[in-house]
Each structure stands twice: as structure tokens, then as C-alpha cells.
């Protein structure tokens, strides 16, 4: 994804254009695939003990194809959608794993530049239970 790629462990450098809501002031992270969990990644702050789980919605049959706003593409330096990897935040809880389909994390596949966007499309819920 970015120049700080370690092929042996699949760790990528990610830098957000602005802090994700609730994670200020952190903007620099690593993204690492979780072994044995297809499509699941750990997003870890490089300067704090902070971790989120991100799911690649293309790893399952979620029917998730959000329209990416032009301003979001511009914010991360992507000229079209094919340059962008789309993830959703996954929150494990006692009764399952929930994903936020309304606020995807967009990462430019080459530079690692990222942004979280809030979609206006109401068909995507903020809290959807996996497997429901």
C-alpha cells in the first residue's frame, strides 16, 4: 500500500488526512491483516496504544457497494474508485460482531493516504451485525 510495506507480515503504513472521529490527534497508523480471519485487519496507531478492527467488505457477501464521494477521493489523492481500498470498522461485542456500513474507511492503495467518510446513503446502517 505505501512505501512502508513489510511483505513478510503484510503491514502497511496508513496516514489519515484528518483524525478519525474520536481518535484525535492520531493520524498515523499501520494496517495489518489478521492471520486466519479473511478480510479482517488491525489498524494500530503508531504513537499510542490504540487499535481498531477493519473489515474488507469484499471478503464476504455483504452487498456493500457504497458510492464514494468525489471530495473523499480528492482528499486521499485518488483519481478514481479503482485506486481505493474500502474498509468498515468492526466492533466485537458479547453478542457478535457489528460493522459500521455508514462510515467506511477509504485508503489509497498506493500512497496509504486515508479518510473516514460519512455516507448520506441511508440504506447503509451504522450498526449491522455480521451474520444476521
Query: According to the model, what pLDDT value does residue 130 have?
Result: 85
CB atoms inside a 10 Å sphere around CB 14: 26
CA distance 51 to 42: 7
Domains, the chain, with CATH or none: 11-129 (2.30.290.10)
Contacts of residue 89, Cβ cutoff 8 Å, sequence gap at least 6: 52, 53, 54, 55, 99, 100, 103, 105
Rg (C-alpha) for the chain, rounded Å, is 14
- Burial class of 38 by CB neighbour count within 10 A (0 to 12, 13 to 18, 19+): exposed
Q: pTM for the complete prediction?
A: 0.88
User: Which regions of the chain are under pLDDT 70?
Assistant: 1-10, 132
Query: According to the model, what pLDDT value does residue 58 have?
Result: 86
- Tens digits of residue pLDDT in 104-118: 999 999 999 999 999
User: Among 21, 33, 38, 3, which Cα is nearest to 113's?
Assistant: 3
Query: According to the model, what pLDDT value does residue 25 have?
Result: 96
Amino acid at each position: 500500500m505505501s512505501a512502508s510495506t513489510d511483505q513478510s507480515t503484510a503491514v502497511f503504513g496508513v496516514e489519515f488526512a484528518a483524525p478519525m472521529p474520536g481518535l484525535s490527534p492520531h493520524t498515523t497508523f499501520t494496517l495489518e491483516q489478521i492471520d486466519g480471519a479473511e478480510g479482517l485487519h488491525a489498524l494500530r496507531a503508531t504513537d499510542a496504544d490504540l487499535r481498531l478492527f477493519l473489515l474488507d467488505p469484499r471478503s464476504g457477501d455483504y452487498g456493500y457497494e457504497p458510492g464514494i464521494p468525489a471530495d473523499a477521493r480528492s482528499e486521499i489523492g485518488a483519481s478514481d474508485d479503482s485506486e481505493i481500498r474500502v474498509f468498515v470498522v468492526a466492533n466485537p461485542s458479547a453478542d457478535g460482531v457489528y460493522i459500521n456500513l455508514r462510515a467506511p474507511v477509504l485508503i489509497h492503495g498506493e500512497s496509504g493516504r486515508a479518510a473516514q467518510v460519512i455516507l448520506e446513503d441511508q440504506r447503509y446502517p451504522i450498526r449491522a451485525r455480521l451474520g444476521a
